[in-house]
Structure 1
């Protein structure tokens, strides 16, 4: 019997755990943070009820690389360990602890878009599609062999909130698809084509500043790319920071419109954040 473990502390990870069980899988171990950690993290959840309901041994630890976690993985004789929605980087010791390895997901079509800020970058780059990749973790950054992918089409109006929801659904779809294969021990790994690899850098809240001297089309794209659940696009006006959550290009000015060299940006949803 293939033994599977899971590491998560967010709703997306819990949804994947639920999908795993719905697909006929059985967890032999779960690990999460201590209750007092990451209490303000977006999507933070607690696994106690799920693990009690499904009789899954649950370990709480302050870091995934701690000795108690590695010892627990080995003692439960796990074949595979999923790490989903987790910000701590897995050590080599952890990656070697399950018999067959550690699996994770990345919200791009690897090898494209290794790195950070996958959802904003997919929109900013004007891609016509992105997706989610299930892959085996190695010591590199999103470089491990691919298990499977789900493609997510993008349009010229897709915003970060919509893509975020699509990415979540793709995670669950991948989990449901791979579990029967995993349990049958028929997982097929495909090495990434390094010649096609691209790396996307992290983004900071200040990267959301709208260039009022630039193109209106770039500004509109930026608004869509960093709207909720991200910090939002913004511009400065008389010492105030105006955060723009929704906007559209227009050929004529209006009361709530910003002028650019190649058109106008009509602000549909915005707020005065604070003095800057």
Structure 2
């Protein structure tokens, strides 16, 4: 009988949990998991890698960063045949990648949307599909050869959070399907053509600020890309912050109204530069729900 292959796994987030479960179910000897300390705020919707390790009796550590001689020594001592990274938040240095063949699970169809927050960027750009890609790790992020990938659709009204749920399942399926070949050393490799797609950076809450002069479709994509549980698309009026919680593209144009928030027939709308609009079904003012009547009074008081 062939001996189990040993792995060191860098993992976090829902993808980290699901892919770690795949390795355990696939008979991989997980010698060590490197993860992050759980965040109370993030675990509102993130599953816990630490909790899974405790349940399964898998050794884990939570170093502050990956560029540490002690961490490299711990990984080398585990004598892994393979190294995996599943939504771990730090880049792995060359000194660690040199220990064993290393593979990363990325939340897009590489080479598209390389870098940080790939699901949010895909929704923001109006992409109609994305997915999960397992690829060889190199020092350059998301640049190694593609081993396997699985596509999922992005429907017109999907938020990034909804798409991320699909990508999590796609990551699990991708790893489950390729794992036997990967362990046997027969998994295929496909060129990751870096002339296609592009790199994208991390996103900050301020990136959710709405420019109402943009077309309605573009503003709607911003809303979908950052809708709760992300911080949300927002606009500031007279010192108050209004955050769109739920909205849809409105079927009719509202060209007679200036761009910005408006109340029409007791409904809240976001009017955009092309005359199109978002029908806003739930709006927060300084973190609290606000009705159409309250918004109308606020806008009148501010001269909007």
Larger Cα Rg: Structure 1 or Structure 2? 2
TM-score normalised to the size of structure 1? Answer: 0.87
- 1:6·1:31 contact (CA, 8 Å) conserved in 2? yes
1:196 is paired with a residue whose SS is coil
Aligned-residue offset at 1:202 = 3.1
CA contact (8 A) 1:38 1:44 kept: no
Deviations 1:198-225 (A, max 9, x none): 2223332112112222222222221111
How far apart are the structure 1 equivalents of 2:167 and 2:197?
Answer: 20
Matched, 1:80 2:105: no
After superposition, the Cα gap between the structure-2 partners of 1:48 and 1:258, relative to the gap in structure 1 and judged at 3 Å, is closer
- Provide the secondary structure at the position in 1 that maps to 2:286: strand
1:39–1:96 CA distance, 2 compared to 1 (3 A): farther
1:232 shift after superposition:
0.5
- Residue 240 of structure 1 deviates from its aligned partner by 0.8
Alignment of 1:19-30 (within 5 A): 19-30=22-33
Q: Which residue does the alignment assign to 1:66?
A: 68
Higher relative contact order (CA 8 A, sep 6+): 1
2:56 corresponds to? 53
TM-superposed deviation, 1:44:
6.4
Distance (whole Å) between structure 2 residues aligned to residue 216 and residue 116 of structure 1? 26
Offset at 1:91? Answer: 0.9
1:230 equivalenced with 2:230 (yes/no):
yes
Query: Aligned-pair distance for 1:258?
Result: 2.6
Which stretches in structure 2 are left out of the alignment for 5+ residues? 255-263, 288-304
Q: Cα deviation per residue 1:75-125 (whole Å; 9 max; x = unaligned)?
A: 222111111121112111011122xx2211111111111122211221122
Using the size of structure 2 for normalisation, the TM-score is: 0.80
Give the 3 Å change call, closer, same or farther, for CA 49–226 of structure 1 in structure 2.
Answer: closer
1:265 is the counterpart of 2:267 = no
SS at 1:194's partner residue?
coil
Q: Distance in 2 between matches of 1:59 and 1:68?
A: 12
- How has the CA–CA distance of structure 1 residues 132 and 21 changed in structure 2, closer, same or farther, with 3 Å as cutoff? same
Shift of 1:197: 3.8
- Structure 2: distance between partners of 1:218 and 1:21: 42
Report what 2:125 is aligned to.
Answer: 125
2:20 to 17, 21, 25: 17
Q: For the residues of structure 2 that align with 1:61 and 1:225, how far apart are their CA atoms?
A: 31
C-alpha RMSD over aligned residues: 2.4
Contact 1:22–1:176 (CA<8 Å) still a contact in 2? no
- The count of aligned residue pairs is 270
Deviations 1:46-102 (A, max 9, x none): 536635635x3434433333223212222222111111121112111011122xx22
**Corresponding residue number in structure 2 for 1:183:** 183
